[in-house]
Amino acid sequence: MLSLTGRVKLDPRLIVEEAMNTGERRLIVISGNDSPEVASEIAKIWLSKREGRLLIATHMGINLDRIPLDDATSIDFDQTEEVLGGTWDILIADISHQFRANDIGRLIEVVRGGGLAILTIPPAEEWINSMTEFQRRFMVPPFESRGVRQLFKSRFLSSIGKRGTFLLGEEVRGELCGRVSKDRAPIERTGDPLFDLCATRDQQRVLRSILDAFKERKRAFILTANRGRGKSAVIGIALSLIMNRSKIRSAVVTSPSIEGVQTIFNFLMRGLDAQGVNYEPLIREGRIIALRFKGKDVFYLTPESAAEVEVSLKVVDEAASIPVTTLFKFLGGGFTIFSSTIHGYEGAGRGFSLRFLGRLRKSGIPHAEERMDEPIRYPPDDPVERWLYDFLLLDAEPGEPPKNLEATYREISLDSISEEYLRKFYGIYILAHYRNRPNDLATLLDAPHHFARSLEAEGEPIVSIHLAEEGGLPNSLLEDMVRGMRDLPGHMIASRIVLHYSFKSFGRLRGWRIVRIATHPELQGMGFGTRALAEVEREARGKSVDWLGAGFGATEDLLRFWVRSGYHPVHISPSRNTVTGEYSVLVLKPLSEEASKLTEEVLKEFKRRVLASLHDVYFSLNPMVARLLLKSKLDGGKAKLSTSQRSRLLGYVKGSYVYELASDAIHEVVRSYFWQGKDCLTPREEAILVAKVLQGKPWETLKSRFGVKEPYELLREIVSNLLSCLDGLRDEA
């Protein structure tokens, strides 16, 4: 057995006692060649005093045999999402070979109060100078020689030693906090078996509020909290009561992943058990996807599908990770429960509060709101929770907007940026984007081809910009990419243009991809985002960069911003994202002469594909988004009409023919209009042309989508205006 007291200056037995006595968690990081064995000994000390559950996480089982503990649950880091909702007393995670920020966020939070989170690494200097599997994906050509920056590991090690956290190894950090017990106020037992399933007073209060909102026929109930407060559990209990005691026959639950609703289903079953109701779960690949009872059913759908289905009761869990446009689709009728983490690794919950709740409150839609504060697994003010939020910047927020808004462009040195500036810089992302993950922070800090810029006023960041270098690829790799044999991570735009359009020479050009750009939420709409893009372009031109680009889930507002800034859409994914319901789009702005020539060729191929696919592959694409995809101006593309087509087109415009008799000719002139990137019609008129002529939507769809009473006559008028726009075509017709 290892001599713990001889190896370190701080006896781990005291850390174990302090955790048990305070009811708080303690984090222990062990460094050294024997760190897995030392972790086992510390776990045995804890287990010698109390029974408990043990979770072990490793990368592909490496070092698992060096943690000789029985009755433990062992998982790979790729399975961390599967343990969410579970509770363990001790965590041992060997992060020697895999160190992903997302995994740390998930694993730390499954440890209950009084327990230990133990992380093991080799000697600290050896670990800092090695690469984890997560970091290896940064080493893409031609940036390998620069090396990973290792700033995220350094950030991790320097964070250990604060209250409740300890480093044991060659260096010892951390101080015992004292032995004051933190007993919780006992939860009120009501005698109602459903309310007695609640673990905290907060849960009981929220359960009553959900039931009251349903009885009062509110349209929505919004529940927010930090992670670990039992939101999903109380929603599951409420669902069991509403479904069992009301006339509702069907309900849908949704989340960005099927794993996200498992706790809801589990507590739905516990609630039905408490009411003596028999049920039948439908399980697929070990996960519950539906529950049937008493002729009723509750089932899971992806967010986009759940928003469209017609049922009277819907539950949206982790709403912060779902676009606001999709969230508002849930408010069409019935009762919807929205649940969101305010601070957590799932997404930007504070952004959800600003973007969704702000609009909901102004809409006049009847709704109720509640917030939960009391943790389920550990006491309030748990020091390990505070450490996790500080380390991963989960609750980072921008500073107060400066009074003097005279902005300057700043090149940020990630090696020397202050913690205060980093928190404000990253906090802007959290409030502006709904798909932020801790892994994004690690990528920014470590990837050799990623870098940061900001627009700042009075020394405060007001626009945050995350960029990545792409391109400059050797011919040997480009040959493989053209043949579809290789898709290089880290080269999102370059690889897709080479792969999908076979323009090998584009891969040799150097580009900057704008990974993230976000403006302080209180300064949006004032032109700072556009100014920041202009500054990035100025710097890129000065450094002989060939192109700028970006990739994102296409919404009308976002795409309009990029098109207005001179960026051309050059690629759209063939299918929607299952979580957001959006198509992914790449935009490009050429800076050099060679990039301009290649971009024009890419645009021709892109327009051909989109124009030929709107009736099929992109039939469900938002017409307002589709028209923006087609705004780039190209030479040629003049409408080619036969004598018969010209005659029928003229007859349609004059009212002699119905649309159906001239549809082929109308399609040809509409295709010509969008090919040339004309700008004679209003955005609404263009969208109507896309919907009817290019996508083939029914007339009834035009009525409902665009609020048109007489779509037949409106379309005739739009086509007439279009002919006036196309050079000489109306006269010829």
Single-letter code of the amino acid located at 421: Y
Helix (H) or strand (E) holding 349: helix 349-352
Gap between the terminal Cα atoms of the chain: 94
Q: What is the DSSP letter of 342?
A: S
Distance CA(700)–CA(596), nearest Å, equals 42
d(CA 311, CA 329): 13
Spatial strand order of the sheet with 54-58 comes to 72-76, 54-58, 88-94, 111-121, 26-31, 165-168
β-partners of residue 167 are 29, 173
The rounded Cα 685 to chain-centroid distance in angstroms is 33
Dihedral of the alpha carbons of 270, 272, 278, 279, in degrees to the nearest 10: -70
Query: Does 676 show up as a binding residue in the annotation?
Result: no
**Is the Cβ–Cβ distance between 501 and 482 less than 8 Å?**
no
Return the structure tokens found at 547: 């192109």
Residue with tokens 């952004």, as numbered in its chain: 351
Residue 173 annotated as lining a ligand binding site = no
Strand 111-121 relative to strand 547-553, pairing: unpaired
The answer to whether 4 and 166 have CB atoms below 8 angstroms apart is no
User: Is the Cβ–Cβ distance between 424 and 400 less than 8 Å?
Assistant: no
Residue 203 annotated as part of some ligand binding site: yes
Is 554 labelled a binding residue? no
CB 689 within 8 A of CB 663: no
Is 662 within any annotated ligand binding site?
Answer: no
- Which of 588, 572, 671, 589 shows the shortest CA–CA distance to 629? 572
Nearest residue to 419 via CA among 434, 441, 439 = 441
Residue 340's H or E segment, with its range, is strand 335-341
Who's near 601: CB < 8 A, 6+ residues apart? 501, 503
- The answer on whether 518 is annotated among ligand-binding residues is yes
- List Cβ neighbours of 419 (8 Å cut-off, separation of 6 or more): none
Please give the annotated binding residues, written as ranges.
Answer: 203, 377, 517-519, 564
Please give the annotated binding residues for ATP, written as ranges.
Answer: 203, 377
Please give the annotated binding residues for acetyl-CoA, written as ranges.
Answer: 517-519, 564
